[in-house]
Structure 1
Amino acid sequence: MKNRKIVITGGPGTGKSSIIHKLEENGEKCLHEISRQVTLEAQSSGIDQLFLTQPLLFSEKLLDGRLKQYIEASGFKSDHIFIDRGLPDVVAYMDYFETEYPEVFNKTCENNRYDQIFILPPWKDIYTSDNERYESFDEALKISSYLYSTYKRYGYKPIEVPKLSVEDRTNFILDKI
C-alpha cells in the first residue's frame, strides 16, 4: 500500500488548521503544523519570537521537525496522510524574509517529495492574528505568493482550494485525492 503524503499549505490565517481538524473528524490521518510548537518552546526559554531574533535557527528546527514528520508519515499504514505544511514552506519563508540558508535546505526539499499539494489562498474574511501569528494580512498575501512560487520551483503543481466553508473545503480536498 503506497502511503501518499498530501500537504495542506497556505499563508498565515488561511484555514489550514481548521481543515486538518475537520479531516481528523472524518477519520483521516493527519500530522499537525509544528511552527507553533517551536515558537512556544523558544518562548519557554525566554525568546519571545525565535523566528525574528534567530531566523536561521528557527528554520533549521522547522526543517528538522518537518523532515521527521515526513519520515513518520511513511510509517503510517494508510493509503494517504495529510500534513499541515511541508518542507518547502521553510524555504518559502526564508526567501520571503530574505534570509540566507545553506544548500541542505534545498536538498532536503528535493530529496523528500510529497505526492500532492493543496494550497489555501489568502482570505481576508477569515484572517485573524494571535500570539504566534504576528503577520498582517498584507504580509500574509506576500507569503502566500512565495509559497506558490516555491512549491512550483520544486516541480509541484499546487491545487488551489476554493474559498468555501470548512466542510466544503475539506470535501473538495477529499474529492481530489
Structure 2
Amino acid sequence: MNTKRILIIGGPGTGKSTLITALEEKGHVCFHEISREVTAAAQKKGIEQLFLTQPLLFSELLLKGRIQQFEDAENLNTAYAFYDRGIPDIAAYMDYSGDEYPAIFTDVCKDYVYDKTFILAPWREIYQQDNERYESFKQAQIIQQYLKTTYEKHNYDLIDVPFGTVEERVDFILQTLNNEE
C-alpha cells in the first residue's frame, strides 16, 4: 500500500498536537512533534531553550528526527500517515530566527515531499505559552508567515483548516482527503 503522508502545520499553539492526538484516537497512524522532546532533553541537561542558545544543533536534531519519521512511513500498511510538523518547518524557523544554516536544510525538502499539507492559523482563544513554547501570540503570527512562505517556496498547496472544535477540524481534514480520492 502506498501510504500518503499528510502534514499538519501552523505556528505555535494552533492546535496541531491536539488534532494529531484526535486522529490517533480514531485509529490513524500519527507522528508526533519532536521539538518538545528535544527541548525537554536539553532542559534536563540545564539548557533552558536549546533553540535560542544553539539553534543549529537544535535544528540538526529536528532534521534527523523528522527524516526518520518520514522514512518510518515507508512500510506502513495504511492509507494515511499524519505528521505534526514537517521537514520544511526547520528552515522556516531558522529563517524566522535570522540564523544562517547549511543548504542541507532546504536541499532535503526536495527529497522528502509530503502528499498533502493542512495549515492551522494562529488562534488567540486556544493559544497558551508553557515551558517548551516560549513564543508570544504575536511571534506565533509572524512564524506563521514564515511557514507559509517556506512551504509555498517548496511548491506545497496549503489547505487552510477552519477554526472549530477538535472534532470539526478532524472531520474537515478527513473529508478533504476522502473527497480527493
TM range, smaller chain: over 0.9
Deviation at 1:2, TM superposition (A): 1.0
Q: Which residue of 2 aligns with 1:105?
A: 105
Matched, 1:32 2:3: no
Deviation at 1:161, TM superposition (A): 0.2
- Aligned partners of 1:87, 1:150: CA distance in 2, in Å? 11
TM-score scaled by structure 1? 0.98
Instruction: Give the residue type in structure 2 aligned to 1:48.
Output: E
Q: Which residue of 1 aligns with 2:85?
A: 85
- In the alignment of these two chains, the number of paired residues is 177
Q: Which residue of 2 aligns with 1:167?
A: 167
Instruction: Give the residue type in structure 1 aligned to 2:21.
Output: H
TM-score scaled by structure 2? 0.96
Deviations 1:11-51 (Å, cap 9, x if unpaired)? 00000011111101111110100000000111111111100
Deviation at 1:158, TM superposition (A): 0.8
- Aligned partners of 1:115, 1:156: CA distance in 2, in Å? 9
Q: Which residue of 2 aligns with 1:14?
A: 14
Deviations 1:71-105 (Å, cap 9, x if unpaired)? 01212111110010000000100000111110111
Deviation at 1:53, TM superposition (A): 0.4
- Give the CA RMSD over aligned residues: 0.7
Q: Which residue of 1 aligns with 2:122?
A: 122
Unpaired stretches in structure 2, ≥5 consecutive residues: none
Three-state SS of the structure 2 residue aligned to 1:99 is coil
- Aligned partners of 2:138, 2:74: CA distance in 1, in Å? 36
Three-state SS of the structure 2 residue aligned to 1:68 is helix
Q: Which residue of 2 aligns with 1:41?
A: 41
Deviation at 1:154, TM superposition (A): 0.3
- Bigger shift: 75-84 or 50-59? 75-84
Q: Which residue of 1 aligns with 2:150?
A: 150
Three-state SS of the structure 2 residue aligned to 1:132 is coil
> Percent of counterpart pairs with the same letter?
54
Instruction: Give the residue type in structure 1 aligned to 2:78.
Output: S
